[in-house]
Amino acid sequence: MNPTTRVLDKSGIFSQEDINSILKELKDKLDTLLSDPTVNRRVYSAAVECLDNVLKHSEEKISNDYSNKQKDYPSRFQLDDTGHSIVIYAGNKILNKNISSLMKQLEALNDLKPSNLNSLYKKKLLTAEISERGGAGLGLIIIAKIPGKKITYDFEKINNKFSYFSLKLEFNYTV
DSSP 8-state secondary structure symbol assigned to residue 97: G
Per the CB < 8 A criterion, the answer to whether 145 and 114 are in contact is yes
pTM for the full predicted model: 0.87
For the cut 70, the answer to whether the pLDDT of residue 136 exceeds it is no
Task: Name, in order, each residue with C-beta under 8 angstroms of 61's C-beta and a sequence gap of 6 or more.
Answer: 13
CA distances from 137 to 17, 87, 117, 152, 173 (A): 23, 23, 13, 19, 29
Give yes or no for residue 134 having a pLDDT over 90: no
Show the domains of the chain with their CATH numbers.
5-172 (3.30.565.10)
How many angstroms separate the CA atoms of 149 and 162, rounded? 28
Q: What is the pLDDT of residues 60-116, one digit of tens each?
A: 655 555 455 557 899 999 999 999 999 999 999 999 999 999 999 999 999 999 889
Least confident segment among 25-29, 55-59, 99-103: 55-59
CA distances 62 to 41, 70, 111, 161, Å, are 33, 13, 33, 12
Which residues in 93-126 are b (16+ Cβ under 10 Å) and which e?
bbeeeeeeebeeebeebeebeeeebeebeeeeee
